[in-house]
Amino acid sequence: MPFALISRCRFKFTQIKPLIWVESHIEKHAHSRVEIMVKARSQFKRRSTANNVEIIVPVPSDADSPKFRSTTGTCKWLPEKSAVSWQIKSFPGGKEFLMRASFGLPSVESDEIEGKPPIQVKFEIPYFTVSGIQVRYLKIIEKSGYQALPWVRYITQNGDYQLRTNT
């Protein structure tokens, strides 16, 4: 009997607080370095856990010599994207984590004003629905006689989720 993932219900919310709230503070020291502080806070109940959280923080395109510190997870510099990837394997509800990054800057600064791309947040929370919608009744009609068990797995994923940085 072939098993398949069937997605029958998709919906969109416009007024909702982010499940993982990210704040950043970027401090540029003239012609020498830039320091970035990122605070991530989970805004869902303690009994849930977000998995495979990735927070992508933009950095100046001419940055080099990265140094990282974080209260949890791992940080990786992505020079081809001019960004830092902060990966947190397991992010429990009601928790807050910090990441600090420091980069060297060239002594000659370009006169061009660099745009500030948004911070991107990716995650999934198994067995969790933002809306609270639950399937109360599920009936499976299988003509081949296969004994199927009615079972629903809820997963909340980030969708398109970006936060603007400040300076």
Structural domain contains residue 34: yes
pLDDT of residue 40: 97
Structural domain contains residue 15: no
Query: For the domain that residue 145 is a member of, what is the CATH number?
Result: 2.60.40.1170
Only one residue has tokens 């923080």, namely 57
pLDDT of residue 77: 96
Structural domain contains residue 130: yes
pLDDT of residue 11: 62
pLDDT of residue 122: 93
Per the structure, the count of domains in the chain is 1
Structural domain contains residue 2: no
- Rounded mean pLDDT for each run of 10 residues along the chain, 167 residues in total: 58 74 89 92 94 94 93 97 96 97 80 71 88 77 81 75 66
Give bridge partners of residue 29 from the DSSP assignment.
Answer: 33
Structural domain contains residue 6: no
Structural domain contains residue 123: yes
pLDDT of residue 89: 98
Structural domain contains residue 14: no
Structural domain contains residue 8: no
Rounded CA gap, 155 and 50, in Å? 10
Rounded CA gap, 99 and 56, in Å? 12
Enclosing domain of residue 143: 20-163
